[in-house]
Copies of this chain bind each other. A is one copy, B any other.
Amino acid sequence: MKVVITGGTGFLGLRLARAILAHGTLYGASGAPEAIDEMILFDNVTPPERPDGLDERVEIVGGDISDRDLVMRLIAGDSLSVFHFASVVSAGAEQDFDLALKVNLDGGINVLEAARAAPGLPRVVFTSSLAVFGGSAMPDTVSDDTKITPMTTYGMTKVVNELLLNDYTRKGFLDGRGARLPTVIIRPGKPNKAASGFASGVFREPLSGIDYELPVSNGTRMAVSGYRTVVEGILTLHEAASSAIGDDRSVNLPSISLTVAEMIEGLGRVAGGRPLGRVIAAPDAAIQAICDGWPGREEAPRALALGLPADADLDSIIRAYIEDYGDA
* Interface residues, chain A, with chain B CB atoms under 8 Å away: 97, 101, 109, 135-137, 145-151, 153, 156, 159-160, 163-164, 166-167, 170-171, 246-248
Contacts and interface: CB of A to CB of B under 8 A. Distances in A.
A248 B137 contact: yes
Given A247-B135, A247-B136, A248-B135, A156 B151 contact: no
Given A97-B171, A156-B164, A159-B163, 15 more contacts: A101-B109, A135-B248, A136-B246, A137-B145, A147-B148, A149-B166, A149-B248, A150-B163, A150-B166, A150-B167, A151-B170, A156-B163, A156-B166, A160-B163, A160-B164
A319 to B, nearest CB: 37
A153 B171 contact: yes
**What is the oligomeric copy number?**
2
B147 A147 contact: yes
Contacts of A164: 156, 160
A147 B150 contact: no
Nearest to A162: B149
A143 to B, nearest CB: 10
24 contacts: A97-B171, A101-B109, A135-B247, A135-B248, A136-B246, A136-B247, A137-B145, A145-B147, A146-B147, A147-B147, A147-B148, A148-B148, A149-B166, A149-B247, A149-B248, A150-B167, A151-B170, A151-B247, A153-B167, A156-B163, A156-B164, A156-B167, A159-B163, A160-B164
Which A-B residue pairs are the 9 nearest by beta carbons?
A156-B167, A147-B147, A149-B248, A135-B247, A160-B160, A156-B163, A145-B147, A136-B247, A153-B167
A109 to B, nearest CB: 8
Nearest to A154: B167
Nearest to A160: B160
A164 B101 CA distance: 10
A59 B97 CA distance: 33
Contacts of A170: 151
Nearest to A246: B136
A110 to B, nearest CB: 12
Nearest to A161: B160
A146 B248 CA distance: 14
A298 to B, nearest CB: 14
A201 to B, nearest CB: 27
A171 B164 CA distance: 23
Contacts of A246: 136
A146 B164 CA distance: 19
A149 B97 CA distance: 25
A132 to B, nearest CB: 10
A145 B136 CA distance: 12
The residue in A97, A146, A149, A153 that gathers the most chain B C-beta atoms within 10 A of its C-beta is: A149
A136 B163 CA distance: 15
Contacts of A171: 97, 153
